[in-house]
Structure 1
Amino acid sequence: MIRSMTAFARCDRLVKSCSLTWEIRTVNHRYLEPTLRMPDGFRSQENDFKELVRKQLSRGKVDATLRFDSEEGEQASAINVDAAMVKVLLDAQAQVAAVSPDASGLSVSQILSWPGVVKPESMDYETLFKDAAELLDEALADLVAAREREGARLVSFIEQRCNQIEDIVVLVAARREIVVDAARERLVLRIEGLDLEFDPTRLEQELAVQAQRLDVTEELDRLVIHAEELRELLQTGDAVGRRLDFLMQELNREANTLGSKSHDAETTKHSMDLKVLIEQMREQIQNIE
């Protein structure tokens, strides 16, 4: 299925006396750009976690956060103090006091807050790596499902615009003879207003040249072809965002050419309507994987 690049997923799991939580947010991006935030104890697994992301996603800016907390209600563990570091601080304090007897001493809270004094609690993170990876897989599966649901809505939106483009093509094609006849009439009236003799054959040649300049059959045909190709791409279920971007450029080029060839207010209005529809599609296609 077509996937949007904008989605959110969250998964939780209790492991032993701890809880693991993955939160993943994704937005549109030209390439796949995963960014992982996690506790230091899990840093060694960052590349493996990124590989799991690459297996599930192909485009988008991915912001994944792993939270690791002690189970609610768990008793606080004892504080491990590095006695050697405390002695270093006290020795330094004694040296300062020898130079400046009036200097205030270190309080207990200041000593405990000094970097390296309190040892981090030892934790066997390796036993949690497998659970964290499995939980990430679950979160990614939820994320993909959310991207597919949003993708289905985008497909419906774009197909509606394709139908409207084809309706406008029919209206422009129906006015083609009217536009050519009006141009013919304007040219004849202009020549007659000059009160000059003219060669009927030369006049027909000039009218034929003008009709060719006003001919938008190729532009209309290409608009229909691009709309059909757009529908086909939306049904493939592949990551087609870049190809859709290219099609938007082609559709916009044909709409611009149609407007430049227009010598009719109604056709000009239809050309502007086409540009609005194409821009609406382009904005939505920016979110397609």
Structure 2
Amino acid sequence: MTLQSMTGFARLDGQIGRYQWAWELRSVNGKGLDIRLRLPPGLDRLEAEARRRLGQVFARGNIQASLSLQAGVGKVEAVINDAALDAVMTLRERLGDRIDPAPLRLDTLLSIRGVVDFKEEDEDDGAKDALDRAVFEGLDKASASMKAMREREGAALGGVLGGQVDVIERLATVVELDPSRSPDQIRARLENQIAALLDSPQGFDRDRLYAEVALMATKADVREEIDRLKAHVAAARDLLARGGPVGRKLDFIAQEFNRESNTICSKSNSAAVTAAGIELKVVIDQFREQVQNLE
């Protein structure tokens, strides 16, 4: 599976019979899948199926799908109101000795309100089904087009994220190999600090000495943080290679990256380690910001 960003756009139009239709799809970042449909009056019957089809293609993002429909002139039929026509004829008979007895003309009947009405013929179920099929086929094609756009952007994002993961791994190695972490350096630093404690005018406190030594030894050890960083690097690379909707998982890994970098900075007793830790935090923030765009 390929990576997808959550940003995309597609438009597709078509025609069937006297109808012209057009789909317009837009997608932006979202915590989940939020589909908002705008359908023309009278086509509410399409909503459930349209949502189902979009849900099969996209797993995450705020998606707006709008359908426009224009209808050309259909067949028109004349509808005669028999009751109104009978009333007119009855009235003519009653007034026959008072008005012109000439036969009623068609144009006269048409001018009498309510006698004849003109309306478009109702479409049968077959025509409605054909329209529905054409509209859904258009939705599928528009969805595929927007998915392709999201995949192109996802591939570009994958390259950026992969490069940032490489930087995180490199900085973790910088911390791991820093001379301040060598046993000799740690031993010398502890010896100096112990000597300072022993020379204190307040006298020697064995319990405090042991506590301080244990604290300094703990602060000097960032082995666990480095190991976890490397494990998270491997997990991030696996997700990027796997593809699909992995944005949420990568966001969780970004949080773990940040946690380990914070701990490294807090334990650091070396300017080089502190600098690497700060750079780690900068890259991790950039990584997390980019991850927000992934499905």
**Structure 2 vs 1, CA of residues 122 and 172 (structure 1 numbering), >3 Å: closer, same or farther?**
farther
Shift of 1:30: 1.7
Q: Give runs of ≥4 in structure 1 deviating > 6 Å.
A: 74-78, 119-123, 195-199, 202-205
Please say if 1:15 is aligned against 2:16: yes
Quote the residue 1:159 is aligned against: 162
Quote the residue 1:228 is aligned against: 234
- C-alpha deviations, 1:101-152, integer Å up to 9, x for none? xxxxxxxxxxxxxxxxxx9977747231110000000000011111111111
Question: Aligned with 1:40: secondary structure?
Answer: coil
AA aligned opposite 1:134: E
Please list, as runs of the form range in 1=range in 2, the aligned pairs for 1:31-70 lying within 5 A after superposition. 31-70=32-71
Is the 1:179–1:263 contact (alpha carbons within 8 Å) kept by the matching residues of 2?
Answer: no
Tell me the distance in 2 between the aligned counterparts of 1:193 and 1:120. Answer: 107
Is the 1:179–1:264 contact (alpha carbons within 8 Å) kept by the matching residues of 2?
Answer: no
Please say if 1:286 is aligned against 2:289: no
Shift of 1:61: 0.9
Quote the residue 1:187 is aligned against: 193
Is the 1:184–1:207 contact (alpha carbons within 8 Å) kept by the matching residues of 2?
Answer: yes
Quote the residue 1:97 is aligned against: none
Shift of 1:237: 2.2
Tell me the distance in 2 between the aligned counterparts of 1:161 and 1:204. Answer: 41
Question: Aligned with 1:41: secondary structure?
Answer: coil
Tell me the distance in 2 between the aligned counterparts of 1:123 and 1:189. Answer: 100
Shift of 1:245: 1.8
AA aligned opposite 2:161: I
- The structure that has the greater radius of gyration is 2
Unaligned runs of 5+ in 1: 81-118
**Structure 2 vs 1, CA of residues 183 and 122 (structure 1 numbering), >3 Å: closer, same or farther?**
farther
Is the 1:36–1:46 contact (alpha carbons within 8 Å) kept by the matching residues of 2?
Answer: yes
Question: Aligned with 2:64: secondary structure?
Answer: strand
AA aligned opposite 1:30: K
Tell me the distance in 1 between the aligned counterparts of 2:119 and 2:201. Answer: 102
Tell me the distance in 1 between the aligned counterparts of 2:262 and 2:185. Answer: 18
Quote the residue 2:135 is aligned against: 132
Shift of 1:69: 2.8
**Structure 2 vs 1, CA of residues 143 and 132 (structure 1 numbering), >3 Å: closer, same or farther?**
same
TM-score of the two chains, using structure 1 as the length reference: 0.74
Unaligned runs of 5+ in 2: 79-117
Question: Aligned with 1:263: secondary structure?
Answer: coil
